[in-house]
Structure 1
Amino acid sequence: MSNPASDAKASRKSLATLFFCTAMPMGMWSVPLANVFKAHERGHLVPWVFATTAIAAFISPLFVGAMADQKHSPVLLLRWLAAITGIVLFITCGSLAWGWSDGMVLLWAQIYTLVATPVWSLTSSIVFSQLENAKRQFGPLRACATAGWMVGCWIVSFVLMADASLLAGMTAGGLWLVVSCLSWWLPMIPPGEVVQHRTWKQILGLDALFLLTHRDHRVLFITSALYCVPLAAFYPYTSAQLRDLGVKNISAVISLGQTTEVIAMLLLSGMLTRFRLKWVFLSGILICVVRFSLNTFNTLPWVMVGTLLHGFAYTLYFITTQIYLEERIDPKWRVRAQALLAMLMGGLGNLIGYLGGGWWYAATTADKVTDWPRFWWGETALTAAVSVFFALAYRGRVRSE
C-alpha cells in the first residue's frame, strides 16, 4: 500500500521537474538568439524575430481559449504543443543553416512563437490544479522554473559552447520533445467547466476595459505597457553588447539576472509588509533606470552588475502587479484583468519595444560599430520617463497597502 505522503511528494517532484524542463529550452533559445542570428548574417532580423513573440501574445490566448471551450485537457494540449514546438524550432534553425530567405526565416520564427507561447500558461495551470495550497506551494515550484532557465543558459555556455551557434536551438528543440514526453507521467487533468462560450473580447480581456475608469487601475495598466518598452532591450542588446566586449559565455552571464530574481522574490513579502505598494512598484522601475545607466559605461564589470539588477527590476514591479490584481480587482473580473494586462505587456508593450529598440539600435550603429553609451542612455531616459509618470499619476491607498 502506498504512503499518501510519499505520493504527494512524488507529485510535487513531477511538477517541479515539469517547470524546470519547460523553462530550460526557453532560456537556451531566447538568450543566445540575437547572437545566433548575427553569426548567420541575419542580425537585421533580430528585432522582427523578437517581435513575433509580441504578435503571438495577441493570438495565442484566442487559441488556448478556443481549445478550453472545446473541453480539451490541458495535459493533452501541453503534450502536443510541446512536441510541435520542438519540431518547429528544428525547422527554424534549419532555415538559417540552409540559407532560406528572410521571409521564410521570419515565417518559421512566427510559427514557433505561436505554438510555444501557450505552453507556459498551460504548464502553470496544470501545476495550480495539482496543488492543495497554492499560496504556500507555488513559490518553490516556480523557483524551479527560474533554475531551469539558468541551467539552460549554463549548458549553452559551458557545455555546448554554443552562444552563437544553432546547436543551442537544436538542443532546445530536443528538450521540448522531452517536455512532451514528461506529460505522459502527469494525470490526465479534466478540462475546466465552461459556463458559456466566450467571445474573443472576453478571452483577450477586452471586456475588462471598464476597469480602466478607476484611476489607479488605469495608471498601473498603462505603466506596465510602457515599462515593457525599454525592458524589451534586455535580451537582444545586452547579449550583443557582451559579444562586443569579447565575452564568450554570454548566456551564462545573462543568467545572472535570474539569480537576483530569486532573491527579489524572497525579499518581496517583507517589503510588502513595510512599504506601500506604490514604493515597491517605483523601486523596481528606478532599479531598472540604474541598471540601464550602468550599461552606458560599456565595460564588462558594470554591464555584469547591471545584469544582476535585472532580477530586481523585473520582480519588484511585475510580481507586485500580480499581487495588486489579487487584492484590488473583483474576483469575477480577475482572470480577464490578467488577460488584458498580458495583452498590453506581452503584446503592445513588447511589440513597440522590440521594433522601437531595433530602430534605435540601427540609429546608434555605424559601420557595424554600436555606440553603446548612446544606446543605453536612450533606454535609461525612456525608463526614467516611465518612473516619473507612475510617481505622479499613481495614488494608491495611503494608510494600508
Structure 2
Amino acid sequence: MSNPAPDAKASRKSLATLFFCTAMPMGMWSVPLSNVFNAHGRGHLVPWVFATTATAAFISPLFVGAMADQKHSPVLLLRWLTAATSLTLLLTSAALAWAWSDAAVLICAQALALVALPAWSVTSSIVFSQLHDAKAQFGPLRAWATGGWMVGCWVVSFVLRADASLLAAVTAAGLWLVVMALTWKLPMIPPGEVVQHRTWKQILGLDALGLLVHRDHRVVFLTAALYCIPLAAFYPYTSRQLHDLGVENISAVMSLGQTTEVLVMLILANVMARFRLKWVFFSGIAICVVRFSLNALNSLPAVMLGTFMHGFAYTLYFITTQIYLEERIDPKWRVRAQALLAMLMSGVGNLLGYLGGGWWYDACTTVVDVPWPWWCPPSLTVKITDWPRFWWGEVGLTAVVCVFFAVAYRGRPRTQ
C-alpha cells in the first residue's frame, strides 16, 4: 500500500480512534498492576515498578530525540514504539509468570517504560499536527483517550475478570499491536524541523529553564512537580485499599475517576472563561485534599466518592497547565516548555512520589501473626495497613502544596 501524501489530513474519526485505542491498553495494565504484582508475590516491587516510568521520563527524550534527528516521520516512530511496547509488556509478564529474579523483573519493567512513555507523547503530537484549530478541537478528541482508558478498565474487571491476573497484561500487549496497525491508516506526516547540532540541554528541554525567571511560570512548574508527589499514591494504593475493603472489580471502580475527567474536559473552557486562572489551578489541588481525606475515612462509599473526584483533581490543574503554557509562553519555547513540564512531573515529581509513597506505605503497614489451632501448622503471617494514617499523611502533603501555590502565584488581572 502506498503512503498518503505528506499534506493529507486524517479524519476526526481516525484521530479519535487512535486516541481511544492508545489509552485503552495503558489503563488495562496501569490500574491492576499493583494487585497483579501482589498476586505473584512481588508486592514489594510495586513502588519501584511505578518509579521506572519516572526514570524513563529522564531517558526517553534522548531516545525519541535521537530518532527525530534521523528525520523519521512521527507515524513511523509510533509504529516502532507500539511494537516495542507490546513486546516488552509480554516480557514483563513472562518475568512474573516464570518467577524471574526481582532484578530481572525490574529490568523488564524499565524497558517497558522506556518505550511506552514516549508512545503517548508521539500520539498527541500526531493528533495536534492534524488539527486546524487545536484549542477548539483537541479537548473533545482528548476525551476519547479518557474513554479508552475507562473501557480498558471495564474489560479487565467485567470481561476478563483479571484484576489480579496477567491476562490483563497479555490482552493489553495485543491491543498495542492494534495501535500499530492503525498507523497504516494515518497519513505519513513529515518530520518537523530538525536542528542538526542540538546540545544535550536542547534535547532534554533544559534550555527552557530560562522560563523559570518569570515568577508565575516558576510557581506553575514547581507546583506541578510538588503536586505529583502525593498524586502518585492514587493508582498504586487506592487499588490496594479497595482490595482490602473487599472489592472484586477494582479496575472498574478505579475508572470512576475518568468519568469526571471527561466531564471537566468538556466544561473546562467555560470554567476558564468565568474564573481567574489562579482559582482554577487552586481548585484542582484543593479538591485533591478533599479526595484524599475521603480515602482516609477507609469506608467503601468514601473511597469510591474520592475516586470519583480524581478527574477534578487531575484535570483542573494539569490540563489547565498545558493551556497556560499554550497561552503564556512564547510560541518558539512552547515545545521545550512542555518537555520541561513532563520531566518535572513524570520525572522529578513521580519519582519522589512513588519511592516516597512506598516508604510511607511500609511505615503504615505492620506484620501480624494470626494464630492457628494447635493441630495446624504455625501461625499465618498477615500484613495490615493503617489506611487512615497513610492517607492523612498524603492529605497533609497535598495541603502544603495547596497553600504554597495560593501564596506564591500572582497571576494577572482578568482585564488582560
Q: TM-score range by the shorter chain?
A: over 0.9
Does 1:384 pair with 2:393? no
SS of the residue aligned with 1:366? Answer: strand
The amino acid that maps onto 2:410 is R
Match of 2:240 in 1: 240
| Shift of residue 241, structure 1, vs aligned partner | 0.2
Residues 17-61 of structure 1: CA deviation (Å, up to 9, x unaligned): 111110000000000000000010000000000000000111111
In the TM superposition, 1:1-400 aligns within 5 A as 11-367=11-367, 368-400=383-415
Contact 1:54 1:346 (C-alpha < 8 Å) held by counterparts: yes
Contact 2:81 2:119 (C-alpha < 8 Å) held by counterparts: yes
| Shift of residue 215, structure 1, vs aligned partner | 1.1
Contact 2:292 2:395 (C-alpha < 8 Å) held by counterparts: yes
Once residues 236 and 254 of structure 2 are traced to their aligned partners in structure 1, the CA distance between those partners, rounded to angstroms, is 11
Contact 1:276 1:400 (C-alpha < 8 Å) held by counterparts: no
Tell which deviates more after alignment, 173-182 or 126-135. 126-135
SS of the residue aligned with 2:190? Answer: coil
Structure number with higher helix proportion: 1
Once residues 279 and 132 of structure 1 are traced to their aligned partners in structure 2, the CA distance between those partners, rounded to angstroms, is 30
The amino acid that maps onto 2:385 is T
| Shift of residue 10, structure 1, vs aligned partner | 7.4
Tell which deviates more after alignment, 342-351 or 262-271. 262-271
| Shift of residue 143, structure 1, vs aligned partner | 1.1
Tell which deviates more after alignment, 351-360 or 274-283. 274-283
| Shift of residue 361, structure 1, vs aligned partner | 0.2
Once residues 195 and 357 of structure 1 are traced to their aligned partners in structure 2, the CA distance between those partners, rounded to angstroms, is 40
SS of the residue aligned with 2:11? Answer: helix
Tell which deviates more after alignment, 214-223 or 288-297. 214-223
The amino acid that maps onto 1:393 is A
Residues 253-284 of structure 1: CA deviation (Å, up to 9, x unaligned): 00000000011112211221121111110000
TM-score normalised per structure 1 = 0.96
Residues 357-377 of structure 1: CA deviation (Å, up to 9, x unaligned): 000000000011000000000
Once residues 154 and 9 of structure 1 are traced to their aligned partners in structure 2, the CA distance between those partners, rounded to angstroms, is 32
Identity %: 79
SS of the residue aligned with 1:65? Answer: helix
The amino acid that maps onto 1:317 is Y
Once residues 196 and 331 of structure 1 are traced to their aligned partners in structure 2, the CA distance between those partners, rounded to angstroms, is 21
Once residues 229 and 209 of structure 2 are traced to their aligned partners in structure 1, the CA distance between those partners, rounded to angstroms, is 21
The amino acid that maps onto 2:256 is L
Once residues 190 and 330 of structure 2 are traced to their aligned partners in structure 1, the CA distance between those partners, rounded to angstroms, is 26
Contact 2:34 2:46 (C-alpha < 8 Å) held by counterparts: yes
Contact 1:230 1:379 (C-alpha < 8 Å) held by counterparts: yes
Match of 1:4 in 2: none
> How many residues are treated as equivalent by the alignment?
394
| Shift of residue 388, structure 1, vs aligned partner | 0.6
Match of 2:379 in 1: none
TM-score normalised per structure 2 = 0.93
Contact 2:229 2:354 (C-alpha < 8 Å) held by counterparts: yes
| Shift of residue 134, structure 1, vs aligned partner | 2.1
Once residues 120 and 366 of structure 1 are traced to their aligned partners in structure 2, the CA distance between those partners, rounded to angstroms, is 38
Once residues 399 and 168 of structure 1 are traced to their aligned partners in structure 2, the CA distance between those partners, rounded to angstroms, is 48
Contact 2:10 2:187 (C-alpha < 8 Å) held by counterparts: no
| Shift of residue 105, structure 1, vs aligned partner | 0.3
| Shift of residue 81, structure 1, vs aligned partner | 1.1
| Shift of residue 88, structure 1, vs aligned partner | 0.9
Contact 1:203 1:339 (C-alpha < 8 Å) held by counterparts: no
The amino acid that maps onto 2:174 is G
Contact 1:284 1:312 (C-alpha < 8 Å) held by counterparts: yes
Tell which deviates more after alignment, 336-345 or 390-399. 390-399
Once residues 392 and 309 of structure 1 are traced to their aligned partners in structure 2, the CA distance between those partners, rounded to angstroms, is 24
Computed over aligned residues only, the root mean square deviation of the Cα atoms, in angstroms, reads 1.3
| Shift of residue 9, structure 1, vs aligned partner | 10
Residues 323-356 of structure 1: CA deviation (Å, up to 9, x unaligned): 1111211111111111111101110000000000
Once residues 333 and 139 of structure 1 are traced to their aligned partners in structure 2, the CA distance between those partners, rounded to angstroms, is 22
Once residues 150 and 236 of structure 2 are traced to their aligned partners in structure 1, the CA distance between those partners, rounded to angstroms, is 17
| Shift of residue 69, structure 1, vs aligned partner | 1.4
Identify unmatched segments of 5+ residues in structure 1.
1-7
Once residues 187 and 267 of structure 1 are traced to their aligned partners in structure 2, the CA distance between those partners, rounded to angstroms, is 31
The amino acid that maps onto 1:315 is T
| Shift of residue 127, structure 1, vs aligned partner | 1.3
Tell which deviates more after alignment, 66-75 or 188-197. 188-197
SS of the residue aligned with 1:313? Answer: helix
The amino acid that maps onto 1:377 is W
Once residues 163 and 201 of structure 1 are traced to their aligned partners in structure 2, the CA distance between those partners, rounded to angstroms, is 42
Once residues 19 and 75 of structure 2 are traced to their aligned partners in structure 1, the CA distance between those partners, rounded to angstroms, is 13
Identify unmatched segments of 5+ residues in structure 2.
1-7, 368-382
SS of the residue aligned with 1:93? Answer: helix
The amino acid that maps onto 1:77 is L
Match of 2:5 in 1: none
Once residues 202 and 10 of structure 1 are traced to their aligned partners in structure 2, the CA distance between those partners, rounded to angstroms, is 30
The amino acid that maps onto 1:187 is P
| Shift of residue 220, structure 1, vs aligned partner | 1.1
